[in-house]
A and B are shown apart, each in its own frame.
Chain A
Amino acid sequence: MNSLIRNTARCLRSGAAVYIPRQADGRVWTSSARFLCAAADIQKALGDIVQKDKVVVFMKGTPAQPMCGFSNAVVQILRMHGVDDYASYNVLEDSELREAPNVTLVKMTSLDWNAAFSNQHNNKDNFFGVKAFSNWPTIPQVYFSGEFVGGCDILLQMHQNGDMVEELKKLGISSSLLEAEKESK
């Protein structure tokens, strides 16, 4: 039995649930009540999310309280460059987030799930589809101006080799490290 059949069977047995994220500061990206939506809508929604803000981070935990060392590293790097105003999405589910009234919980039917992710190599471990959307298997994930930049490793190397300052400049963000460097001269 190959992994696709096995994953589909697992979804059919347990019923796939997809959770629409709430932003770390409490804003929801959609103000609708609970509704059933197709996977394509979620992918489109993610497309909107990454375009909406210049810097978007999908992470474990929040910038105030990261729950993963790799996610924390991303937060720290952004902080070092003075980037504090960015959209972050917490991929960890907790019961409060699940039950909270201002979170939209979307339950997809097994058929929808299968149709949406049958070509993805990461069927059941999608959180809310961000891994499929980015075609990137791990969290954290960073987007600059709607374009996927990478995870913790890439951000760290960009920071170390000076590319981060350049990329932020392209976004119209002046890195505070650049400011500090100017002042010291």
Chain B
Amino acid sequence: MLPSVLRCVRPVSTSLSLSRPLAHFRPHMDPDPSRPVERSIRTKLTDQLTPDHLEVHNESHMHAVPPGSESHFRVLVVSSQFEGLPLIKRHRLVNEALKEELSSCVHALAIQAKTPEQWGSNPSLAKSPPCLGGSRGDHTVEEKLKAGRE
């Protein structure tokens, strides 16, 4: 029985290893084109909230973390599952869907959770406020970046 493990792991490219011996080596500054965390977020939100519309934005580049990080995200979820729910319950649903990512690699998650009707009357993505550099002084961010690299 395989335990289910969140893989915040960069896939190793074995096919290149014959011609380029150091292909498996990824310095942490190198952005991972496969974007595993973003894909995982997208998959889980799609599976669990069956959204009419979904946007997942990696905003790590707007924060005090190395290039290529997958630590700060903004998600916009439009789902009829939010009907009748107060904002806090909607956000908790999103948090629950992404709890593995939030407890490992993802440090910040901005959420917009709208019903289809709300989205119809105001189809706009909110903007994140400018970073004030807090991630630099935050040792827990360093741990999450490490988790993302492992």
Contact = CB atoms under 8 A, between A and B. Distances in A.
Interface string A60-100: 11000011111111000000000000000000111000000
A93 B110 contact: no
A72 B133 CA distance: 11
Contacts of B134: 60-61, 66-68, 71, 92
A145 interface: no
Nearest to A127: B140
B102 A3 contact: no
Interface of A: 1-3, 60-61, 66-73, 92-94, 121-125, 127, 135-138, 148-154, 156-158
B9 interface: no
- Interface size class, chain B: 35 or more
A127 B137 CA distance: 13
B129 A69 contact: yes
A125 B140 contact: yes
Contacts of B99: 121, 137
B103 A122 contact: yes
B149 interface: no
B137 A92 contact: yes
A50 B71 CA distance: 28
Given A1-B3, A150-B91, A69 B131 contact: yes
A112 B135 CA distance: 28
